Chain A
Amino acid sequence: MMGRLLTMLLAAGVPLAAHHSVPVNFDQSREVTISGVITEIRWINPHSRFRLDVKQQDGSVLEWLVEMGAANTMKRAGFPMERFAVGDPVTITGNPGRRDRVVLLRTAVLQDGTKLSP
């Protein structure tokens, strides 16, 4: 069944979307929003990332991984990386990962209300 489906998809010559592994790693049909404190920032290739400590309703803290695009791409796009610092509170909205507690950043809201999208 899967093989027949693949053959049909292949034969259809479907255009490829913009990014490589996003549909494989993230559910683009859904969005989640989390708020927390940045504990790590890595502007790297192939994917930049934050680690975020997110406080739960019972007071415990769970770490989330926030993935972004390649550092090179974000530099070329002029994304203001310098606006983020470890220890800052931030609210992230994005597509949930197919692994637990992972999100692909679509919008970040800084403490002063500034909204940033890569």
Chain B
Amino acid sequence: MRADGKDRSCRLLAGLSLLLACASPALAQRPDLSGNWMLNGGKTVFGAGDLTDEGRRRFEAYDFKTDDPALKCIGASWTRVWLNPNVLVEIAQAADHVRLRYEWMDLDRRIPLVDPTMADPPRGSIEGHPALGRYAAWYDGPALVIETVDVAPGYVSTMEKWAGLPQSRRMRTIERLTRSGDVLTIEITHVDPANYRKPLVVTITYPRSKFELMEYNCTPEDAAVVAPK
């Protein structure tokens, strides 16, 4: 009887191991991106975007005094969110989702992990931030891939010489997050035929941070104050 029980246990363990190995190869290969990261001294590179006529018209019409969504505590695009320096991003990975908590504007981004071949996967979104669209994620080897669609028209960037680069409702954004030691690299590709003849690629590196997440508590009343009375 004991031999039978032991045999059954062995078969059960072997079966479980096989099940884990076969059912979740992606789980075994998932990169560990968890932890706290901060843009502080990392390098950022904007690739070539090549504006269409409509994209150029919108870019040249941008007025930083009135058009920056941050004046209303609203995120303009995921590139804009990632480009904010000296604020923390906390990443937590779970079996069925990834949670990215951005200190900037207190953005709490819970992203469902999906099968990328699904026609209409479940997606997350953040209320009050229509330009940040709806997103889903999956793992691709060493990368976490986040796809965002259904963005409201607005701006990919409101910063530096890229302030006013536009985005349309047709834009699809792919973020690829990879880690090498204590550096997180975020490669963001914006595909928006209405505004760009070829994809706009932005690469940002985030060092690991010793700091903890803090509340941001942006209020539109204060954020809109940019001039004396």
Residues of A at the B interface (CB closer than 8 Å) are 2-3, 6-7, 9-11, 13-21, 23-25, 42, 44-47, 49, 51, 62-65, 67, 69-70, 72-73, 75-76, 97-102
In the assembled complex, the Cα of A72 lies from the Cα of B106 at a distance in Å of: 12
Measured between C-beta atoms, what is the minimum distance from B168 to chain A in Å?
Answer: 17
| Contact (Cβ within 8 A) B226 A99 | yes
In the assembled complex, the Cα of A44 lies from the Cα of B211 at a distance in Å of: 18
Given contacts A6-B59, A24-B163, A46-B104, 20 further A-B contacts (CB under 8 A): A2-B59, A2-B60, A3-B56, A6-B56, A6-B161, A7-B50, A10-B46, A10-B49, A10-B162, A18-B41, A21-B68, A24-B64, A24-B158, A42-B222, A46-B70, A46-B218, A46-B223, A65-B228, A99-B65, A101-B227
Residues of B at the A interface (CB closer than 8 Å) are 40-41, 43-51, 56, 59-60, 64-65, 68, 70, 83-87, 103-104, 158-163, 200, 211, 214, 216-219, 222-223, 225-229
Residues of B within 8 Å of A49, CB to CB, are 225
| Contact (Cβ within 8 A) A21 B86 | no
In the assembled complex, the Cα of A23 lies from the Cα of B68 at a distance in Å of: 14
- Among A24, A73, A99, the residue within 8 A (CB) of B227 is A99
Residues of B within 8 Å of A42, CB to CB, are 222
Residues of B within 8 Å of A24, CB to CB, are 64, 158-160, 163
**Main SS at interface, chain A:** mixed
| Contact (Cβ within 8 A) A15 B44 | yes
**Main SS at interface, chain B:** loop
| Contact (Cβ within 8 A) A16 B44 | yes
| Contact (Cβ within 8 A) B228 A16 | no
Measured between C-beta atoms, what is the minimum distance from B61 to chain A in Å?
Answer: 11
Measured between C-beta atoms, what is the minimum distance from A16 to chain B in Å?
Answer: 4
Which of A6, A20, A98: most chain B Cβ within 10 A? A20
- Among A13, A23, A65, A98, the residue within 8 A (CB) of B45 is A13
Residues of A within 8 Å of B47, CB to CB, are 10-11, 13
Q: Kindly report which residue of chain B lies nearest to residue A52, judged by CB atoms.
A: B228
In the assembled complex, the Cα of A101 lies from the Cα of B214 at a distance in Å of: 31
| Contact (Cβ within 8 A) A76 B159 | no
| Contact (Cβ within 8 A) A72 B51 | no
In the assembled complex, the Cα of A100 lies from the Cα of B228 at a distance in Å of: 8
Measured between C-beta atoms, what is the minimum distance from B132 to chain A in Å?
Answer: 17
Measured between C-beta atoms, what is the minimum distance from B88 to chain A in Å?
Answer: 8
Residues of A within 8 Å of B65, CB to CB, are 99
| Contact (Cβ within 8 A) B85 A19 | yes
In the assembled complex, the Cα of A51 lies from the Cα of B226 at a distance in Å of: 11
10 residue pairs from A and B, CB less than 8 Å apart: A3-B60, A10-B50, A16-B83, A20-B83, A24-B159, A44-B222, A46-B104, A64-B228, A72-B87, A101-B227
